[in-house]
Amino acid sequence: MTLESQMNSLNMTSPSLSFDEKKQLITRNLQEFLGEDRLNVILKERDLKIYWGTATTGRPHIAYFVPMSKIADFLRAGCEVTILFADLHAYLDNMKAPWELLALRTKYYEESIKAMLESIDVPISKLKFVKGTDYQLSKEYTLDVYRLSSVITEHDAKKAGAEVVKQVEHPLLSGLLYPGLQALDEEYLKVDAQFGGVDQRKIFTLAEKYLPQLGYAKRIHFMNPMVPGLAGGKMSSSEEDSKIDLLDAPALVKKKLKKAFCEPGNVEDNGVLSFLKHVVFSLLKPGENLVITRDENNGGNLNFSDYQSLEQVFAKQELHPADLKAAAEFYINRLLEPIRKKFESKELKDLTSKAYPPKKPVVESDIIAPHRLDIRVGKIVEVSRHPDAEALYVEKIDLGEENPRTIVSGLVNYVKEGDMANRLVVVLCNLKPAKMRGIESAGMVLCASVEEEGNKKVEPLFVPPSSKAGDKIVVEGYETGAPDEILNPKKKVWEKLQVDLKTSSEGIAQWQGNNLLTPSNEKLTCVNLKNAPIK
């Protein structure tokens, strides 16, 4: 039987399903679910009400068939399913999308999800779509946000969003609010259960802990496993080669699958196998097989009635990755074809181009990377006190140029004048020259700096003795690319790069964990200040 006929044979389960049959459909293929006792009580009385939410940011891709296949199970079990387009959440998640695009992207998501469910022939009479902003800006919801913020701790909020909200050193308050808002959605959507990926488990447990504190019921939580991307690891909208877009042409599907990570015998981190397991096999009815088409010289076709059999054959390396990819290509293209056809209409083409406008070419001058910094070894050939500032030295530093540069440094309180003379230092050379108490400074000596209990410590970076004045310092992995002639102060290139310049726990100077190196690949270090910002 072809996939098309398999999909056409899928119909809503009749109301005569038994309790056990409904429960089996609802819970099959999940990695985990919480609240089995509550599930049993509700199913014995009525159909379950479930919601699944998605933030309307990056374009939906084939991994969305994983939750769609599970939503198909819910609908076949007679559940009432709400799909929440979390437009407000999308904005709060480190502001991935500006407000002006969210309405367009929400419409794109709705059309895409309808097309996906149609492609697997799932009736949607018990399915409804809701936007977060339809109720999340109401007076009642806002008051509950305040109530929740009065009981939830910063630790719990940050922990709950650890695998969902982008983690940064100094998180925005919006990211801390995100998990609590998702918890409140369960109450305001009036559902019995929430469905999501296992990466949201901590948000689900936060909801179970805090909603009762507001007087609301504890809900059931269903969790799908995370499906590896084609390149291995998580499938992501932001990594082009890790996912297949719903509108990718057949030739592009083939190209991406050719590049997909599919190591012979590897069944642990295999996006191709995972897609077949969680999507294609979930669409097969009992007695129907997944077919791997092979040349007779390679053993002929293989038929599999269950995923475990396929996995065992692949693990034993009795099935070549190329044949597995060819089967995945066939099934993926059959799923995507009705979606492609639907989006050929002018209306949906216009929607796509407006919701996801073509990316502007990246201009070299817009790339914020350490190659733009002109960092060199300098030798102090002359040092004196600033005549009008007790804390400043005025140094003449040889940087391999025709004449030494004048650089003013605030090191009087940290380094003795005698220790400055003839010293090798690390200098940022392409800052815009600036006057410091009347003397123009044409660079900056880089130092590790910390402040502990009001006591500030500053120490110049140590340069290997084999270095010489003018040696260029590079960041490991960013050796190519020319530095800016002068860093534009308005674009704050130095400020954006400086936040990731630090000494390691071993005192090694690094940018985002990558070592700063001399031309002879020696590391710059700091003798006394570890885990300290470099300024």
DSSP character string of 4-20: HHHHHT--PPPTT--HH
User: Residues 454-478, buried b or exposed e (16+ Cβ, 10 A)?
Assistant: eeeebbbbbbeeebebebebbbeee
Most confident of 339-348, 364-373, 448-457: 339-348
Give the pLDDT score at 364. 57
Split at pLDDT 50, 70, 90, the class of 383 is very high
pLDDT more than 70, % of the chain: 90
Give the pLDDT score at 363. 59
The reported pTM is 0.64
- Percent helix, strand, coil in the chain, to 5, is 40, 20, 40
- Is the per-residue pLDDT at 240 higher than 70? no
| Number of CB atoms found within 10 A of residue 210's CB | 23
One-letter identity of residue 144: D
Give me the count of residues in the chain. Answer: 535
Give the pLDDT score at 1. 34
Counting other chains too, the contacts that 380-386 makes at CB distance below 8 Å and 24 or more residues apart are 380/420, 380/421, 380/422, 380/423, 380/425, 381/422, 382/421, 383/417, 383/420, 383/421, 385/412, 385/417, 386/436, 386/437, 386/439
Split at pLDDT 50, 70, 90, the class of 177 is confident
Q: Residue range 414-429: average pLDDT?
A: 94
Alpha-carbon distances of 164 from 39, 203, 204, 280, 424, rounded to whole Å: 26, 9, 12, 27, 46
**Angstrom distance (rounded) from CA 362 to CA 66:** 33
* CA-closest candidate to residue 452, choices 508, 510, 509, 529: 529
Split at pLDDT 50, 70, 90, the class of 13 is very low
Split at pLDDT 50, 70, 90, the class of 241 is low
228 or 415, which is more confident? 415
* CA-closest candidate to residue 81, choices 40, 119, 26, 30: 26
Give the pLDDT score at 524. 96
Alpha-carbon distances of 300 from 28, 128, 303, 319, rounded to whole Å: 32, 45, 10, 11
Q: Residue range 153-178: average pLDDT?
A: 74
List CB contacts of 180: < 8 A, sequence separation 6 or more.
145, 148, 149, 152, 157, 206, 210
As a whole number of Å, the CA-based R_g of the chain is 30
Split at pLDDT 50, 70, 90, the class of 429 is very high
User: Coil, strand, or helix at residue 194?
Assistant: strand
169 or 40, which is more confident? 40
Q: Which residues pair with 397 in a beta bridge?
A: 380, 405
Helices within 120-244 (DSSP H only):
139-149, 154-160, 173-188, 201-210
List CB contacts of 534: < 8 A, sequence separation 6 or more.
446, 447, 448, 449, 461, 498, 501, 502, 503, 509
pLDDT tens track for 31-49 = 999 999 999 999 999 999 9
Q: Give the right CATH number for 15-224 from 3.90.550.10, 3.10.20.600, 3.40.50.620, 3.30.465.10.
A: 3.40.50.620
**Angstrom distance (rounded) from CA 117 to CA 69:** 8
Q: Is the domain covering 365-517 a CATH 2.40.50.140 domain? A: yes
Give the pLDDT score at 424. 96
Give the pLDDT score at 4. 38
**Angstrom distance (rounded) from CA 149 to CA 162:** 18
- The answer to whether 468 and 509 have CB atoms below 8 angstroms apart is no
Give the dihedral sign, CA 20/22/23/29. positive
The separation between CA 448 and the C-alpha centre of its own chain, rounded to angstroms, equals 31
List CB contacts of 357: < 8 A, sequence separation 6 or more.
none
Give the pLDDT score at 261. 85
Q: Give the right CATH number for 250-359 from 1.10.10.60, 3.30.540.10, 1.10.240.10, 1.10.1270.20.
A: 1.10.240.10
Exposure on the CB side of residue 3, measured as CA atoms within 13 A: 23
DSSP string, 81-130: EEEEE-HHHHHHTTT-S-HHHHHHHHHHHHHHHHHHHHHTT---TTEEEE
List CB contacts of 470: < 8 A, sequence separation 6 or more.
376, 377, 378, 398, 399, 400, 401
DSSP string, 134-155: GTTTSHHHHHHHHHHHTTS-HH
Q: Which residues pair with 375 in a beta bridge?
A: 428, 473
What is the chain's mean pLDDT, rounded? 88
pLDDT tens track for 481-509 = 889 999 988 889 999 999 999 999 999 99
Q: Residue range 391-415: average pLDDT?
A: 95
Q: Can you give the residue ranges of every domain in the chain?
A: 15-224, 250-359, 365-517
Cα 366–501–392 angle (5° rounding)?
Answer: 105
Alpha-carbon distances of 12 from 52, 115, 380, 458, 502, rounded to whole Å: 19, 17, 81, 70, 59
Torsion of Cα atoms, 88 then 111 then 356 then 252, to 10°: 130
Q: What is the bridge-based pairing of β-strands 375-385 and 302-304? A: unpaired
pLDDT tens track for 300-335 = 999 999 899 999 999 999 999 999 999 999 999 999
- Is the per-residue pLDDT at 519 higher than 60? yes
* CA-closest candidate to residue 204, choices 456, 59, 34: 34
- Is the per-residue pLDDT at 278 higher than 90? no
